[in-house]
Amino acid sequence: MTTDEPSGADLSEDERAALHQVELGLEWLHRAHGHLVEFHHNTGHAMDHLAEAEPLLRECGYDELADAVRDRYLPHGVIDDDRWSYDVLESFQEGFLEEIEDFETEVREVVADGQRHAAERAQERTWKERAERERERRG
């Protein structure tokens, strides 16, 4: 912690707890975002494999199956027939995630003058003070 940062010491326990829960909510949404990115990439890899199967099926004489890959599955979305994985990802990023990020920023500004991780800073301060007292006690 740098000396020019607010310490969060002037926040009540309830304020720190409320802020911490909002921060944790956002952190979990960032984790969910990561899973959506993974979903998007995994879907892309799956579609690449299907695309590679198309000519192989055709070479083996399975034109109807190759046509199904080309005409039915490759152009098909993952949700509602036409929403591709990138669209799901972008909708989450530009919608709910962005709204919660803005809300988390507002909460930090109103409750803690914009300070991040006030609960963790208080815990850090407590642990450092305890360690210092113990060092002084031992001499």
Average pLDDT over residues 85-93: 97
> What is d(CA 51, CA 66) in angstroms, rounded to the nearest whole number?
9
Reported as a pLDDT band with limits 50, 70 and 90, residue 48 is very high
Whether 104 has a pLDDT exceeding 90, the answer reads yes
Under DSSP, is residue 79 helix (H, G, I), strand (E, B) or coil?
Answer: strand
User: What is the pLDDT at residue 7?
Assistant: 55
Give me the count of residues in the chain: 139
Token pair recorded at residue 131: 């360690």
Cβ atoms of 11 and 17 within 8 Å: the answer is no
Task: Give percent of the chain with pLDDT exceeding 90.
Answer: 90
User: What is the pLDDT at residue 81?
Assistant: 83
Whether 2 has a pLDDT exceeding 50, the answer reads no
Q: For 50-86, what is each residue's pLDDT tens digit?
A: 999 999 999 999 999 999 999 999 999 999 989 999 9
Q: What is the residue-wise DSSP string for the chain?
A: --TTS--STTS-HHHHHHHHHHHHHHHHHHHHHHHHHHHHHHHHHHHHHHHHHHHHHHHTT-HHHHHHIIIIITT--SBTTTB-HHHHHHHHIIIIIHHHHHHHHHHHHHHHTT-S-HHHHHHHHHHHHHHHHHHHHH-
The residue ranges of every structural domain in the chain are 13-138
Partners of residue 79 on adjacent β-strands: 83
